């Protein structure tokens, strides 16, 4: 299904993006250059990089599968509301604080407010959440490589990881951001091309897509269901998802690292607010999913491909790309998916390496060394974290759940307490804070109980138990539990006593 022309395009694409990242990486003389791009990255590049990191291979592959599936529709798009609210809050209240000093991460800010222990606890949560969340993206792309080459899942994961380590090691965050910009436009063009091919192939074009999708209820957008076990509802988007959005764009260093590369706080706000435009891309991918539904209703999959899709529903769009897209466009799309995965992995490797050095290695192991030493250690840690991500991705590949649910649910354990600790750092000037470690542990265990109740009932019942709440609601619960347990009262109350 993949011609020599397609392979050539994939090779050229990877070579060109590698060259672009190398040429635009800037100087690499210190950890400031490697981790912050010297704070010389223009806001529009940062904004495109944020969007590219947000959509990633998980969105490109997983979102069409949501609309294609039986009972699937556009209700996933409601979640954009939470992301928009979160960006507005961060631009107004958080970013100015991050630019008060030259912080390398949000955890440096928290250390200033609540002490270094809290900063390191939050950094540790980020590391765990980053490995879990980004491993899903590696697994998503490995689904494509597996179909394309016939390699095993493990081999596919190793190839993706090797390229990501090379790109990160070579260029630091500046190279990551500029390759993100290229990847963003390629994926956008690829999705438009896929939709065009689908519409051109259907007997009456757009009319057939619209009629088929409407008859199956695919264009249903709003769901006002009050059942907290349903993930894609208006209430979850309005109430629960802003917690997730603030945690992601405001405390998850995978995203804040980009915002801290801007020249100043004003440009960082522009980059974040313009990234709202990226919320249109899930709508495009959902439309592609409806198109796939209409297409395969008329032209059913051949048995061998149908078996692959039945085993993992997220394979539907990669199968379409490989079997139906024209030569050349097919190669560009696969190259874009590969680039999305490698770019996302670059981002997390750079962030994990930075946090490891600034929060743990520098203060505890070698506190008084030259910048060249810390730069060398940072690059070595990229390899360590890359291998750990590869192992975790292989473990996640054994899961039978869909990519979107898997990607979001794995982040619920850490994003809630991370946001909770950030809120506590903001409140620390007026309130007494204490018992942070128990608060974090109880927060994580609470989310675990709600998301994986079988962990606590395994001794009695060995069967699988459904989550007690849908994953969006776990973000505010994790946050509020952490905050409530750590507040000890007002500071003026303590002084008057």
Q: Hey, what domains does the chain have and what are their CATH numbers?
A: 4-400 (1.20.1730.10)
Q: Which residue has the higher pLDDT, 116 or 440?
A: 440
**Burial (Cβ within 10 Å: 0-12, 13-18, ≥19) of residue 203:** exposed
Model confidence, pTM: 0.83
- What percentage of the chain has pLDDT greater than the value 70? 90
In the predicted model, what is the mean pLDDT of the chain? 84
SS3 453: coil
The pLDDT value recorded for residue 33 is: 56
Contact assessment for residue 62 and residue 314, using Cβ atoms and an 8 Å cutoff? yes
State how far the Cα of 349 lies from the Cα of 98, in Å rounded to an integer: 22
The pLDDT value recorded for residue 361 is: 86
The pLDDT value recorded for residue 461 is: 47
Of 250-254, 294-298, 486-490, where does mean pLDDT reach its minimum? 250-254
Kindly tell me if the per-residue pLDDT of 255 is higher than 90.
no
State mean pLDDT over 79-100: 89
The pLDDT value recorded for residue 295 is: 94
Of 135-139, 215-219, 226-230, where does mean pLDDT reach its minimum? 135-139
192: number of Cβ within 10 Å:
12
Kindly tell me if the per-residue pLDDT of 350 is higher than 50.
yes
State mean pLDDT over 249-274: 86
State how far the Cα of 468 lies from the Cα of 104, in Å rounded to an integer: 38
Kindly tell me if the per-residue pLDDT of 152 is higher than 50.
yes
DSSP one-letter code for 472: G
Closest CA to 146 of 289, 327, 308: 308
Token pair for 116: 């270094």
Q: Which residue has the higher pLDDT, 337 or 326?
A: 326
State mean pLDDT over 411-433: 89
Task: Tell how far CA 358 is from the center of its chain.
Answer: 23
The pLDDT value recorded for residue 276 is: 92
Of 319-323, 375-379, 458-462, where does mean pLDDT reach its minimum? 458-462
The pLDDT value recorded for residue 186 is: 81
Place of tokens 């509301």: 81
Contact assessment for residue 122 and residue 376, using Cβ atoms and an 8 Å cutoff? no
Token pair for 102: 């030259």
């Amino acid at each position: 299904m993949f011609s020599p022309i397609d392979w050539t395009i994939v090779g050229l694409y990877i070579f060109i993006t590698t060259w672009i990242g190398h040429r635009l990486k800037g100087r690499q003389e210190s950890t400031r250059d490697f981790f912050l791009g010297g704070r010389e990255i223009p806001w529009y590049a940062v904004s495109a990089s944020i969007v590219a990191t947000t959509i990633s291979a998980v969105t490109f592959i997983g979102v069409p599968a949501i609309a294609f599936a039986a009972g699937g529709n556009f209700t996933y798009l409601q979640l954009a509301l939470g992301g928009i609210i979160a960006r507005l809050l961060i631009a107004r209240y958080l970013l100015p604080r991050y630019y008060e000093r030259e912080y390398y991460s949000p955890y440096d800010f928290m250390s200033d407010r609540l002490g270094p222990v809290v900063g390191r606890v939050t950094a540790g949560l980020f590391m765990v959440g980053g490995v879990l969340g980004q491993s899903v993206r590696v697994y998503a792309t490995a689904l494509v490589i597996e179909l394309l080459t016939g390699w095993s899942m493990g081999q596919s994961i190793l190839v993706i990881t090797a390229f990501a380590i090379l790109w990160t090691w070579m260029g630091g965050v500046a190279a990551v951001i500029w390759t993100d910009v290229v990847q963003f436009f390629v994926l956008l063009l690829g999705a438009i091309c896929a939709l065009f091919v689908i519409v051109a192939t259907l007997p009456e074009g757009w009319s057939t897509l619209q009629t088929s999708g409407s008859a199956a209820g695919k264009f249903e957008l709003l769901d006002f269901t009050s059942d907290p076990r349903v993930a894609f509802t208006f209430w979850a988007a309005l109430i629960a998802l802003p917690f997730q959005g603030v945690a992601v764009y405001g405390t998850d260093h995978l995203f804040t690292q980009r915002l801290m590369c801007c020249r100043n706080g004003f440009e960082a706000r522009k980059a974040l607010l313009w990234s709202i435009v990226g919320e249109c891309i899930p709508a495009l991918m959902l439309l592609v999913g409806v198109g796939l539904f209409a297409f395969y209703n008329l032209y059913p999959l051949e048995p061998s491909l149908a078996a692959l899709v039945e085993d993992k529903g997220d394979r539907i769009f990669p199968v379409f790309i490989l079997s139906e897209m024209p030569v050349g466009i097919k190669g560009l799309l696969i190259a874009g998916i590969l680039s999305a995965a490698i770019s996302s992995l670059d981002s997390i490797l750079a962030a994990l390496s930075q946090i490891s050095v600034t929060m743990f290695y520098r203060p505890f192991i070698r506190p008084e060394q030259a910048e060249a030493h810390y730069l060398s250690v940072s690059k070595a840690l990229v390899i360590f974290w890359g291998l750990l991500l590869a192992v975790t991705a292989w473990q996640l590949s054994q899961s039978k759940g869909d990519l979107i649910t898997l990607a979001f649910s794995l982040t619920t354990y850490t994003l809630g307490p991370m946001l909770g600790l950030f809120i506590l750092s903001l409140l620390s000037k007026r309130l007494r804070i204490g018992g942070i470690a128990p608060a974090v542990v109880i927060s994580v265990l609470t989310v675990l109980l709600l998301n994986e109740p079988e962990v606590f009932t395994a001794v009695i019942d060995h069967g699988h138990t459904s989550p007690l709440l849908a994953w969006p609601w776990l973000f505010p619960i994790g946050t509020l539990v952490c905050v409530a347990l750590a507040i000890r009262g007002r500071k003026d109350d303590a002084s008057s006593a």
